[in-house]
């Protein structure tokens, strides 16, 4: 028995880390890595506060679950725009506000430095990311897919497709593939007929789709040959293609882009450190540094000027950014107004659609 | 009886003069009590960490205070006015007051979400009204309806009346694809929204299929193991027990490695020229993936009970049947098979019960078509945050499992459960 | 099962076909587990045997995935592997930390389950035990009720009592894992006790031993094998459990299965296979231990090995 006690104390002793670290929940894989390099490490070096990184398929529902259960362990979460608004509406986030944020490196006040709409009551944008689709070059020897319609055309481009398991971005893409101009997509999706049309389009490839949940999955599905084409976050495809040399091509036609934001859940255990972290991570330099690691556009204008090469020292980042003029030719800005209102019902519809055979 | 005893006068007594019967009863109740005290710590532990949490699931499935807690005044109006009362100005005043206070407390979206479960598309109605309600002027009926005409809809008022009580059976209706119409009558949800009944059916059919497959392929192996001499059978037994002892995730990973399109099986088939490179079989991320991996994982649970029943069956029975002229098939069917029924029952129920609740394996290899009811329960906890629906689905699943468990106990006896 | 001499030709054919079928089924059981072992030494990041592996070219094999277990995610790789490097591994390597957490949780869950379970099994196996069958059914039920339901209940329960604010790390997961392990302890210990000769305790008592002496000197040595194999079952249950950890474990309570779950969903690199290989070796040694214990128990109780 005595031995047991000694052993158990020893076991417990090894496991306790220092407290008052900031826990940041983000999307994992190459994206989290870029945040670790650009935000976490410099933040720890500057303040001595450790940053614990937690991966998630989508941090927003977890924030909601934790706040509702009164059991919050996350200090900072990385969420999509519509979720940031919804969570803020529901009183599940700590307010941050523009006033708390530092001016840009060139002295521009935060309010002018951030891109329009990038800062809300409870959330601060870090980057602009995009949902695009990519394909494996080796799967298509003749014609290559170039448009959103090609993604839905399994006769011309046979093979499995990967799509995110959820309504958002898929419905928009389905409509654009069906010939709806980007500018009209949300007006159309606001009508029952538009929703039916989108689902009907998804129906045409339903049997060929493999659904992914975590952002790191689609490049893996492509690499494993499980799918021939897949929707993905543009930065993930970039990382696989440029840093790992995979033969993937990104198709920008019909891309759906939006902000990604940092939020602080209500009742976060280390609220003050969390706010420090958000301020640090959304500063001009940190945002510019992130672009060295992944192809997402910084949310501050002052950072844009500092974006240069990828960390390999030879890849110009510009053409890989969702916001470059070339890539914006047929692009859709994701509408948070639409998704704040319709997220629940469209996801319910999506799930029943998915479950029905 | 007592009279009779008194008549006899002389009762058997212990050395300290007490009646023997009484002393015995006392000793026995003491022994009983002692035995019970040994069990008590564990029983209370289980009650706290297992039974009580499950009771909370049951409670959550009929209890949802999201609306009632955040909109108290309109709830009061509903309580004082019977069903069917046309909402008057007092009702609208109560509603607007609630919207204003919930809007300020940032809980209006929570209340809206509860209504949204019953009536999709209403969440935004509440959030918008929560933002704007403080600017409204009386009469509130007109000003609120002017804000959005949906506030005058009788259907919305019907739903609000129902959700204003925290206790409800509606989540059970939702869990079997039913809903209430504007008048409160129960009807099926529109066809493109039906999910759960299909999923329950799929879960039970899939579990039954896996049970049957396990029985078909487990029976011969158990038979072989029980009929071989000890030194061979214990060697072969290792091949059954090793998977049993190996981590579930390891086994699931192994199947991913084997089944995926660039995986071992497809590579071998391509390499040997049976299929060409562009014809690789799709065996994962679909129902087939779930069935194969779950069969592999659950097979030992079939083989082990079968083996323990077959082992003691003397081979002389079948020999006797043969010597009496039965063909080998008849001898098997009429003599051997009936004796293995307890094992078939035990193994079958065990495999079925375990597979009905599977979550990890379908989530990893099942794709969209291989998802089971557990996966949807998990979805409602972590993604859609509809805990009451998750709890209602869980309760239905639990009830069917307990029914099977009870059956198992009746047929097999829970104390006969053996491991390894 | 030797073939009887009166077997007809058809029966002979069936006899051998039957053995082939059984062989294939056993192969189905064992092959997936064994296949991960060679693949974990793949020098390439693929899940299939490369040409070099098939021709036993040493360059086709490598330990890089095992190495990754020590360095993932932030351990420097291009420095000499001295004591300082190992201490970084011990502190920072995700898999090493997961292993530590798994062992801590498994250890405490096993102790709790074994202690309470053995006590209860002693009570349950007494003939005087009231409501034996009903209580047994309750105590076994954590094994039967689907994990997702238990997890859902614990999720509600732990949030209602705010267990994470108590400042006891791992507590929620340990209690849950102890609950899951208890049925195994009950089953194995009552099985050992079922062949227990109660005249031994009476003999001990008649020779003047106190109840506690009887327990420690007579009962305990006899049921010890059952206790240990129950404890091993409980430990493996905890060591393999991922659903509870996923739903109620705190963010820093990463265990090996949880780390595997994350890894599988994101990118199943052969690093997962090297973990799998280590776990397979682990289960082989557990299996061997159980078998030795069973034989010892049977010998002690005077039952010839069956």
Contact state of A220 with C169 under an 8 Å Cβ cutoff: no
Residues 6+ apart with CB under 8 A from C208: none
Q: Does B62 touch chain C (CB under 8 A)?
A: no
CA-based nearest residue in chain C for residue A41: C74
- Residue B382 pLDDT class (50, 70, 90 cuts): confident
Site of tokens 């417990």 = A12
Q: Could you give the CA distance from residue C199 to residue C157 in angstroms, rounded to a whole number?
A: 45
The answer to the question of residue C80 being in a domain is: no
Report CB contact under 8 Å: C116, B45: yes
Per-residue model confidence (pLDDT) at position C53: 84
Q: Residues A160, A42: one domain?
A: no
Number of domains in chain A: 2
- Are the beta carbons of A353 and B120 separated by less than 8 Å? no
What's the token pair of residue B181?
């119409």
Record: contact C252-A17, CB cut-off 8 A: yes
Rounded Cα distance between B53 and C109, Å, is 18
Q: Which chain B residues are within 8 Å of C146, Cβ to Cβ?
A: 356-359, 374, 397-398, 401
pLDDT digits (tens, 9 = 90+) for C91-135: 888 899 999 999 999 999 999 999 999 999 999 988 888 888 889
Say if C305 is an interface residue toward chain B (CB within 8 Å). yes
ipTM: 0.89
CATH of the domain at C225: 1.10.3720.10
Q: Does C85 touch chain A (CB under 8 A)?
A: no
Min distance A340 CA to chain B CA atoms (Å): 8
Provide the pLDDT for residue B8.
Answer: 54
Residue A356 sits at the chain C interface (C-beta within 8 Å): no
Is the CB of residue B194 less than 8 Å away from at least one CB of chain A?
A: yes
Q: Does a structural domain hold residue C286?
A: yes
Task: Name subunits touching A (3+ CB pairs < 8 A).
Answer: B, C
Q: Which two tokens stand for residue C140?
A: 């076994």
From the CA of B382, how many Å to the nearest CA of chain A?
6
Q: How confident is the model at residue B55 (pLDDT cuts 50, 70, 90)?
A: very high
Given pLDDT bands bounded at 50, 70 and 90, which one contains residue B393?
very high
User: 3-class DSSP state for residue C251?
Assistant: coil
Q: Which of B55, B254, B402 sits opposite C35 (nearest CB)?
A: B254
Shortest alpha-carbon distance between residue A260 and chain C (Å):
20
Interatomic CA distance for residues A120 and A282, integer angstroms: 14
Q: How many helices (H) and strands (E) in chain A?
A: 16, 10
Return the CATH number of the domain spanning residue range B196-416: 1.10.3720.10
Local structure of residue A94 (DSSP, 8 states): -
Q: Does A349 share its domain with A236?
A: yes
User: What CATH number should be reported for the domain holding residue A248?
Assistant: 3.40.190.10
**The predicted structure's pLDDT at residue A11:** 46
Residue A271: inside a domain:
yes
> Residue B31: pLDDT band by 50, 70, 90 thresholds?
confident
A300 φ, ψ (degrees, to nearest 5): -105, 140
Euclidean distance between the first and the last CA atom of chain A, given in angstroms as a whole number: 58
Q: Which of B151-155, B198-202, C298-302 has the lowest mean pLDDT?
A: C298-302
Residue C199's φ and ψ, nearest 5 degrees, are: -65, -20
- Token pair belonging to B212: 């049957």
pLDDT of residue B192: 76
Give domain status of residue A15, yes or no.
no
Size of interface B-C (CB pairs under 8 A): 279
Q: Above 90 in pLDDT, residue C48?
A: no
Quote the CA–CA distance of B254 and C65 in Å, as a whole number. 16
Q: Using a CB-CB distance cutoff of 8 angstroms, which residues of chain A are in contact with residue B382?
A: 61-62, 65
Residue C216 contacts residue C183 (beta carbons within 8 Å): no
Ramachandran region of residue B120, left (φ > 0), alpha (ψ -120 to 50) or beta? Answer: beta
Query: Per residue in B353-362, is it b (16+ CB within 10 Å) or e — as a string?
Result: bbbbbbbbbb
| Run of H or E residues at B317 | helix B316-323
Q: Are both A237 and A166 inside the same structural domain?
A: yes
Mean pLDDT of the B325-332 span? 89
CA A126-A347-A338 angle, 5° bins: 55
Who's near C281: CB < 8 A, 6+ residues apart? none
Query: Looking at beta carbons, which residues of chain B come within 8 Å of C21?
Result: 220
Task: Print the domain residue range for C149.
Answer: 88-300
Tell me the C-alpha distance between C30 and C70, whole Å.
28
B305–chain A Cβ distance below 8 A for any pair: no
Closest CB to A349: pick one of B124, B193, B260. B193
Answer yes or no: is A143 within a domain.
Answer: yes
Cβ count near C151 (within 10 Å): 26
**Within a domain: A43:** yes
Same domain for A155 and A60: no
A342 and A218 fall within a common domain: yes
The DSSP annotation for C16-27 comes to HHHHHHHHHHHH
**Nearest Cα to Cα of residue B89 among B37, B23, B123, B138:** B138
Residue A95 and residue A121 in contact, taking contact as beta carbons nearer than 8 Å: yes
**Chain B neighbors of A160, CB-CB under 8 A:** 282
- The 3-state DSSP class for residue A250 equals strand
pLDDT band at residue C178 using 50, 70 and 90 as cut-offs: very high
Which residue pairs, CB below 8 angstroms and at least 24 apart, start in A327-331? A327/A130, A327/A252, A327/A255, A329/A252, A329/A253, A330/A148, A330/A176, A330/A182, A330/A252, A330/A253, A330/A254, A330/A255, A331/A130, A331/A182, A331/A252, A331/A254, A331/A255, A331/A256, A331/A257
Please report residues of A whose CB lies closer than 8 A to that of C164: 71, 73
Question: A69 vs C251: CB contact, 8 Å cut-off?
Answer: no
Contacts of B248 in chain C (CB under 8 A): 240, 242, 257
Locate all alpha helices (DSSP H) within C249-269, ordered by sequence.
256-266
A225 and A79 belong to one structural domain = no
Neighbours of B72 (CB within 10 A): 15
Distance of CA A326 to the CA centre of its chain: 21
Would residue C26 count as lying in a domain? no
The torsion of the CA quartet B216, B217, B219, B222, rounded to 10 degrees, works out to -170
pLDDT over 90 percentage in chain C? 44
The ranges of chain B annotated as CATH 1.10.3720.10 are 196-416
Tell me, yes or no, whether A117 and A41 share the same domain.
Answer: yes
Angstrom distance (rounded) from CA B381 to CA B390: 6
H-type alpha helices, chain A:
2-15, 29-35, 41-47, 59-68, 81-89, 110-113, 148-151, 170-177, 185-189, 192-203, 217-223, 234-238, 271-281, 284-290, 301-304, 336-355
Domain assignment present for C138? yes
- How many CB pairs (< 8 A) connect A and B? 89
**Shortest Cα distance, chain A CAs vs residue B376, angstroms:** 10
C-beta of residue C181 within 8 angstroms of C-beta of residue C109: yes
Instruction: For residue A159, tell me if it sits in a domain.
Output: yes
Give the integer Cα–Cα distance in Å for B282 and C261. Answer: 22
pLDDT at B1 over 50: no
pLDDT of residue A357: 62
- DSSP for B205-255 reads HHHHHHHHHHHHHHHHHHHHHHHS-HHHHHHHHHHHHHHHHS-HHHHHHHH
Instruction: Give the residue from A88, A202, A352, A356 with the most B CB atoms within 10 Å of its CB, the best one to mutate.
Output: A352
Please give, rounded to a whole number of angstroms, the shortest distance from the CA of C256 to a CA of chain B. Answer: 10
Beta bridge partners of B178: B188
Find residue B162's DSSP bridge partners: none
Task: Say what the pLDDT of residue B415 is.
Answer: 65
Say if the Cβ atoms of C136 and B414 lie within 8 Å: yes
pLDDT-derived band at B384, boundaries 50, 70, 90: confident
Query: How far from the centroid of its chain's Cα atoms is residue A168's Cα?
Result: 12
Query: Is residue A5 one of the residues assigned to a domain?
Result: no
Is there a domain that residue A115 lies in?
Answer: yes
Residue range(s) defining the domain that contains residue A72? 20-128+259-327
Of C266 and B322, the structure prediction assigns the larger pLDDT to: B322
Q: What pLDDT sits at residue B160? A: 92
Tokens of A197: 């049309």
Q: Does C294 reside within a domain?
A: yes
Angle, helices B89-104 vs B72-80, to 10°: value is 160
Of A25, A29, A52, the CB nearest to C266: A29
Closest CA to A122 of A51, A63, A69: A63
Choose among C22, C155, C156: nearest Cβ to B220.
C22
Least CB–CB distance from B382: residue in A62, A88, A347? A62
Distance from CA of C21 to the nearest CA of B (A): 8
Residues 119-148 of A with CB under 8 A from C: none
Residues 6+ apart with CB under 8 A from C217: C204, C209
Task: Give the span between the Cα atoms of B161 and B79, in whole angstroms.
Answer: 9
Question: Across the interface, do A214 and C265 touch by the CB < 8 Å criterion?
Answer: yes
**At A293, is the secondary structure helix, strand, or coil?**
coil
Interface probe with A: pick from C90, C96, C267, C268, most Cβ of A within 10 Å: C267
Instruction: Report how many domains make up chain C.
Output: 1
Specify whether A136 is located in the same domain as A238: yes
Residues A186 and A51 in one domain: no
The answer to whether B276 contacts chain A (CB < 8 Å) is no
Q: How many helices (H) and strands (E) does chain B have?
A: 22, 2
| Predicted local distance difference test score (pLDDT) of residue B234 | 84
- How close, in Å, is residue C167 to chain B by CA atoms? 18
What count of Cα atoms within 13 Å lies in the side-chain half-sphere of residue A338? 21
> What is the reported pLDDT for A10?
46
Helix (H, G, I), strand (E, B) or coil at A180: coil
Contact at CB, A345 and B124, closer than 8 angstroms: no
Give the chain A residue nearest B260 (alpha carbons): A226
Alpha-carbon distance of A147 to A255, in angstroms, equals 10
Looking at residue B18, its pLDDT comes to: 83
> Do β-strands A229-233 and A22-26 pair in parallel, antiparallel, or remain unpaired?
unpaired
For residues A347 and A213, membership in a common domain is answered with: yes
Listed by number, the residues of chain C in 187-246 with a beta carbon closer than 8 Å to a beta carbon of chain A are: none
Residue C305 reports pLDDT greater than 50: no
CB contact under 8 A, A15 and C101: yes
Are the C-beta atoms of residues B46 and C186 closer than 8 Å to each other?
A: no
Residues A323 and A177 in one domain: no
Are B109 and A341 inside 8 Å of each other by CB? no
Chain A contact probe: residue of B114, B117, B368 with most A CBs at under 10 A: B368
What size, in residues, is chain A?
Answer: 357
In this model, does residue B419 exceed pLDDT 60? no
CA distance to B315, B321, B332, per residue, from B328 (Å): 13, 9, 6
Low-confidence stretches of chain A (pLDDT beneath 70): 1-19, 357
CA distance A245 to C15: 55
The residue to which tokens 């040595």 are assigned: C221
User: Which candidate from C32, C176, C287 shows the least CB-CB separation from B245?
Assistant: C287
Does residue A217 sit in the same domain as residue A81? no
The structure tokens listed for C269 are 């690199």
Residue C136 domain-assigned (yes or no): yes
Helix (H, G, I), strand (E, B) or coil at B189: coil
Q: How far apart are CA A132 and CA A329, in angstroms?
A: 13
Provide mean pLDDT across the span B284-302.
Answer: 93
Distance from CA of A194 to the nearest CA of C (A): 33
What pTM did the predictor assign? 0.90
**pLDDT mean over C156-183:** 91
């Amino acid at each position: 028995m005595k031995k047991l006690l000694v052993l158990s104390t020893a076991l417990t002793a090894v496991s306790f880390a220092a407290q008052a670290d900031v826990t940041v929940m983000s999307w994992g894989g190459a994206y989290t890595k870029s945040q670790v390099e650009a935000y976490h490490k410099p933040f720890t070096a500057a303040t001595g506060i450790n940053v614990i990184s937690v991966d998630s398929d989508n941090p927003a529902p977890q924030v909601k679950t934790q706040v509702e259960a009164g059991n919050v362990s996350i200090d900072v979460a990385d969420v999509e725009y519509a979720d940031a608004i919804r969570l803020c509406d529901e009183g599940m986030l700590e307010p941050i506000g523009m006033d708390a944020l530092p001016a840009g490196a060139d002295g521009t006040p935060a309010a002018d430095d951030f891109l329009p709409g990038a800062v809300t009551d409870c959330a601060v944008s870090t980057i602009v990311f995009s949902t695009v689709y990519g394909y494996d070059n080796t799967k298509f020897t003749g014609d290559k897919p170039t448009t959103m319609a090609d993604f839905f055309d399994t006769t011309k481009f046979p093979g499995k497709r990967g799509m995110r398991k959820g309504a958002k971005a898929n419905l928009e893409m389905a409509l654009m593939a069906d010939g709806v101009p980007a500018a009209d997509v949300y007006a159309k999706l606001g009508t029952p007929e538009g929703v039916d049309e989108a689902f009907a389009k998804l129906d045409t490839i339903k049997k060929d789709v493999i659904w992914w949940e975590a952002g790191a999955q689609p490049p893996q599905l492509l690499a494993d040959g499980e799918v021939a084409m897949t929707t993905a976050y543009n930065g993930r495809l970039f990382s696989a293609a440029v840093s790992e040399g995979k033969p993937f091509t990104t198709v920008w036609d019909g891309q759906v882009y939006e902000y990604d934001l940092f939020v602080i859940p209500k009742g976060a255990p280390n609220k003050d450190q969390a706010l420090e972290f958000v301020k640090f991570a959304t500063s001009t330099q940190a945002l510019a540094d992130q672009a060295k690691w992944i192809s997402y556009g910084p949310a501050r204008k002052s950072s844009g000027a500092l974006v240069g090469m990828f960390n390999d020292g030879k890849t110009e980042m510009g053409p890989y950014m969702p916001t470059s003029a070339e890539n914006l030719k047929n692009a859709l800005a994701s509408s948070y107004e639409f998704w704040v209102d319709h997220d629940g019902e469209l996801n319910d519809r999506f799930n029943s659609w998915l479950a029905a055979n | 009886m007592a009279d009779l005893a008194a008549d006899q006068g002389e009762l058997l007594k212990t050395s300290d003069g007490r009646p023997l019967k009484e002393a015995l009863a006392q000793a026995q109740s003491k022994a009983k009590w002692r035995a019970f005290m040994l069990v008590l710590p564990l029983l209370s532990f289980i009650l706290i960490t297992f039974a009580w949490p499950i009771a909370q699931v049951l409670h959550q499935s009929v209890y949802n205070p999201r609306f009632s807690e955040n909109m108290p005044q309109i709830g009061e109006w509903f309580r004082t006015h019977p069903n069917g009362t046309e909402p008057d100005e007092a009702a609208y005043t109560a509603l607007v007051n609630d919207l204003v206070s919930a809007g300020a407390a940032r809980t209006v979206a929570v209340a809206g979400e509860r209504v949204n479960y019953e009536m999709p598309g209403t969440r935004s109605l509440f959030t918008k009204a929560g933002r704007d309600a403080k600017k409204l002027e009386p009469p509130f009926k007109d000003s609120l309806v002017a804000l959005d005409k949906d506030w005058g809809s009788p259907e919305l008022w019907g739903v609000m009346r129902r959700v204003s009580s925290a206790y409800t059976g509606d989540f059970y209706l939702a869990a079997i694809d039913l809903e209430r119409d504007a008048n409160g009558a129960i009807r099926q949800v529109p066809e493109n929204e039906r999910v759960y009944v299909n999923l329950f059916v799929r879960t039970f059919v899939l579990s039954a299929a896996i049970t049957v497959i396990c029985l078909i392929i487990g029976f011969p192996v158990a038979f072989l193991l029980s009929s071989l001499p000890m030194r061979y059978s214990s060697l072969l037994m290792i091949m059954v027990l090793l998977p049993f002892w190996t981590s579930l995730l390891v086994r699931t990973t192994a199947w991913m490695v084997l089944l995926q399109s660039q995986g071992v099986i497809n590579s071998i088939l391509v390499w040997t020229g049976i299929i060409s490179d562009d014809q690789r079989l799709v065996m994962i991320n679909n129902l087939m993936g779930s069935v194969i991996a779950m069969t592999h994982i659950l097979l030992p649970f079939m083989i082990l009970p079968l083996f323990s029943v077959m082992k003691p069956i003397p081979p002389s029975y079948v020999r006797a049947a043969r010597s009496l002229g039965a063909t080998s098939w008849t001898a098997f069917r009429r003599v051997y098979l009936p004796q293995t029924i307890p094992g078939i029952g035990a193994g079958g129920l065990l495999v079925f019960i375990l597979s009905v609740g599977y979550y990890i394996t379908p989530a990893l290899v099942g794709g969209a078509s291989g998802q089971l009811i557990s996966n949807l329960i998990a979805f409602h906890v972590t993604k859609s945050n509809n805990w009451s629906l998750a709890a209602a689905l869980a309760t239905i699943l639990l009830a069917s499992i307990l029914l099977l468990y009870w059956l198992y106990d009746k047929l097999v006896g829970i104390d006969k459960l053996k491991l390894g | 099962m030797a073939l009887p001499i009166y077997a007809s030709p058809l029966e002979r054919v069936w006899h051998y076909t039957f053995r082939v079928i059984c062989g294939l089924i056993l192969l189905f059981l064992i092959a997936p587990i064994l296949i991960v072992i060679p693949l974990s030494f793949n020098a390439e990041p693929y899940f299939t045997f490369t040409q070099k592996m098939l021709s036993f070219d040493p360059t086709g094999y490598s330990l890089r995935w095992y190495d990754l277990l020590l360095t993932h995610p932030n351990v420097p790789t291009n420095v000499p592997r001295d004591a300082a490097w190992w201490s970084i591994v011990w502190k920072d390597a995700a898999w090493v930390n997961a292993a530590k957490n798994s062992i801590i949780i498994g250890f405490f869950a096993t102790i709790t389950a074994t202690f309470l379970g053995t006590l209860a099994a002693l009570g349950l196996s007494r003939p005087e035990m009231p409501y034996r069958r009903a209580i047994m059914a309750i105590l076994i039920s954590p094994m039967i009720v689907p994990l997702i339901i238990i997890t859902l209940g614990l999720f509600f329960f732990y949030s209602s009592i705010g267990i994470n604010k108590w400042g006891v790390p791992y507590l929620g997961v340990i209690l849950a894992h102890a609950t899951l392990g208890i049925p195994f302890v009950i089953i194995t210990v009552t099985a050992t006790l079922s062949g227990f000769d109660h005249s031994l305790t009476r003999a001990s008592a008649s020779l003047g031993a106190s109840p506690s002496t009887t327990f420690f000197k007579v009962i305990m040595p006899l049921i010890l094998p059952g206790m240990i194999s129950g404890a091993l079952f409980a430990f493996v249950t905890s060591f393999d459990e991922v659903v509870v950890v996923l739903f109620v474990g705190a963010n820093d309570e990463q265990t090996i299965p949880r780390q595997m779950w994350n890894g599988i969903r994101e990118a199943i690199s052969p690093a997962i296979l090297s973990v799998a290989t280590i776990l397979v070796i682990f289960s082989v040694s557990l299996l061997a231990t159980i078998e030795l214990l069973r034989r010892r128990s049977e010998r002690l109780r005077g039952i010839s090995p069956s």
